[in-house]
Homo-oligomer: A and B are copies of this chain.
Amino acid sequence: MSARVVDPGQLAAEFRHTLRREIAALPEPLRLVGVIAGPHGAARTYAEYTRKGCEDIGVQFALQNVERLEAEAAIRKANADANVHGILVYYPVFGTEQDRYVRDLVDPTKDVEGLHSFWSRCLYENRRFYDAAGTKKAILPCTPLAILKLLEAAGVFDPTAARPLEGRRVVVFNRSEVVGRPLASMLSNDGAEVISFDVDGPQFFSPSRPPIVKETSIDRAAALANADVIVTGVPSRSFERITAREIAKGAVCVNFSTFANFDGDITEKASVFIPRVGPMTVTMALRNTLRLYHNTRA
């Protein structure tokens, strides 16, 4: 057996194809503002991918190159501009805890990253809609959403089911506020039993309602041996790569780190291997832009 290796670029292209058609049908141009401070390499790359994605689907992208102390004014200006439908801030801006303050300056109804504390609250409280009528869907953070869409495309679950991941055991290595914790929460909201590993120990995200998170004493070996899906995002060379020997036959393996977190032999035993997520992340930001547009005009 050899794993099917899924290219996120192909799925992203399919999503962009749909987005292009929907955006062309809008009564006005969709406008996204990017705010980038400083010369940070990875942020520049992400901004460049955003520009290409926007060009591809017909979104007007205006990238503001600012000094870090000008980011706040740029965000406020974009917040106030009725012709701007989405805002994407490229981090780090300060590279300190001040970035959390910057993040929350973005008007949540223009936050295409879905990382404003307003959206985090919706997610962690498993509220899918943010209006009383239940017509306006909450925005989900781009990378966790990208991973869910990749799993769906890989046939891991049926998205039309009420609890699409019911009974699935998922392991996530990474519990950052940007990807790992929201991802674990989204998976368990959809019915999965999730073991979350990070430097401060493993936690169990129960699919119970309301959501419950507990400390657990499970170790890596036991968690991996029992997992249907394994998602890694450890940004470190010192992470001991996950090998075929550690996983169950037919497991689905996803890596969203820029480092290889799986050993090359993983494809011998996994059913699906998704080695990177990046192109889908950008595409989900564009999809969120369209969703925000529809939400404010609903």
Contact = CB atoms under 8 A, between A and B. Distances in A.
Interface of A: 67, 69, 94-98, 100-101, 104, 117, 120, 124, 175-177, 181, 198, 200, 203, 213-215
B69 A214 contact: yes
Contact of A69 (B69, B177, B181, B213): B213
A97 B200 contact: no
Nearest to A105: B121
Contact of A101 (B96, B101, B120): B120
Given A100-B97, A101-B177, A177-B97, A69 B215 contact: yes
A176 B95 contact: no
Grouping DSSP codes into helix (H, G, I), strand (E, B) and loop, the A interface class, with mixed when no group exceeds half, is mixed
A200 B67 CA distance: 14
Question: What copy number does this chain have within its complex?
Answer: 2
Contact of A94 (B69, B104, B200): B200
Contacts of A98: 175, 177, 181
Contacts of A69: 203, 213-215
Contacts of A175: 96, 98
Most B CB within 10 A of own CB, among A96, A175, A176, A203: A96
B100 A200 contact: no
A152 to B, nearest CB: 27
